[in-house]
Amino acid sequence: MGATGIKPPADSEYALPLAPNFFRSLVTATLSLSRLEEVMGNGYFCDRTAKIRRSPLKKRILMAITLSLLILGLTSYKTQHHLSPPPSKEVEPSQTKTGRSTVSQSQTDVASLIHQEYLKWEGTPYKMGGNNSLGVDCSGFVHQLYDRVFDLKLPRSTHQLIGVGQEISRHHLEPGDLVFFRPPSYPRHVGIYIGNSKFIHTSSSAGVTTSDMNSNYWRKAYWMSRRVLN
């Protein structure tokens, strides 16, 4: 009985030449089977004077012994080589996104995302307590933009926004930082820094617009800055 029907698994960790001990086991099994057929043919399991036939019972006995020897040989081979299933590759959990994630985004990416959303709001008129394209106030615009772009729920009022994130110096501003002002006309005002000393906000006169922090008006009204993005 040959071993041509036995193939090592396709995985590279298993694709090893069969051990010599395994071949010796097969040879031993073959010789044992030959001896068994000789014994059975000589009449130990049948009439000595009858013509030797391969009865169904005899075939089943030979097949059972053959399978047993093959299983023992394979078990011995695996034990010698410590074969085990290849380790499963752990997939590192990717960042879960319930919306648009801000983790590890560059300043350029943040500025681009903010600008794309800003274009949808540009020119929207100012409306105290407004929260949509029909009219929006300064904190409402900030609240909507961070929710839509970064899936970040910020407080709705300017009074609450001054307590979120980390306070930073004006000289270390990055796109996405919140900038706060104390204009002469109202006590608090908030906008979003987009780079190059520019910020977007809702003006009482121009609606959603872009302004320059270095302009005389906003430079004097500047109060503080806070970072809420990682």
Residue 43 located in a structural domain: yes
pLDDT above 90 (res 192): yes
Find the catalytic residue in 81, 115, 172, 201.
201
Q: What is the domain extent for residue 66?
A: 1-89
Instruction: Give the model's confidence band at 25: pLDDT under 50 very low, under 70 low, under 90 confident, else very high.
Output: low
What sign has the CA pseudo-torsion 183, 157, 120, 192?
positive
Among residues 63, 89, 115, the one where a domain terminates is 89
Of 45, 60, 89, the residue that ends a domain is: 89
For the residues 177-182, what does the mean pLDDT come to?
A: 98
Is the same domain home to 74 and 117? no
Active site annotation includes 189 = yes
67 lies in the same domain as 117: no
Statement to judge: residues 208 and 169 lie in one domain: yes
Q: Which of the following is catalytic: 115, 143, 172, 189?
A: 189
Same domain as 145, residue 83: no
Do 174 and 65 fall into the same domain?
no
State whether 33 and 84 are in the same domain: yes
Tell me phi and psi for residue 46, to 5 degrees: -150, 175
For residues 3 and 83, state if they share a domain: yes
- The mean predicted confidence, pLDDT, of the chain is 75
Q: Are residues 44 and 17 in the same domain?
A: yes
Query: In terms of domains, do 126 and 202 share one?
Result: yes
Active site residue 46: no
Number of compact structural domains in the chain? 2
The 3 state secondary structure assigned to the chain is CCCCCCCCCCCCCCCCCCCHHHHHHHHHHHHHHHHHHHHHHHHHCCCCCCCCCCCHHHHHHHHHHHHHHHHHHHHHHHHHHCCCCCCCCCCCCCCCCCCCCCCCCCHHHHHHHHHHHHHHHCCCCECCCCEECCEECHHHHHHHHHHHHHCCCCCCCHHHHCCCCEEECHHHCCCCCEEEECCCCCCCEEEEEEECCEEEEEECCCEEEEEECCCHHHHHHEEEEEECCC
CA 184 – CA 189 distance, rounded (Å): 10
Shared-domain flag, residues 150 and 222: yes
For residue range 124-166, what is the model confidence (pLDDT) as tens digits? Answer: 999 999 999 999 999 999 999 999 999 999 999 999 999 999 9
Per annotation, catalytic residue among 46, 115, 138, 143: 138
- 97 vs 31, more confident: 31
Q: What is the pLDDT of residues 55-104, one digit of tens each?
A: 566 666 667 776 766 676 666 555 554 444 444 333 333 333 333 433 34
Per-residue confidence (pLDDT) for residue 120, from 0 to 100: 97
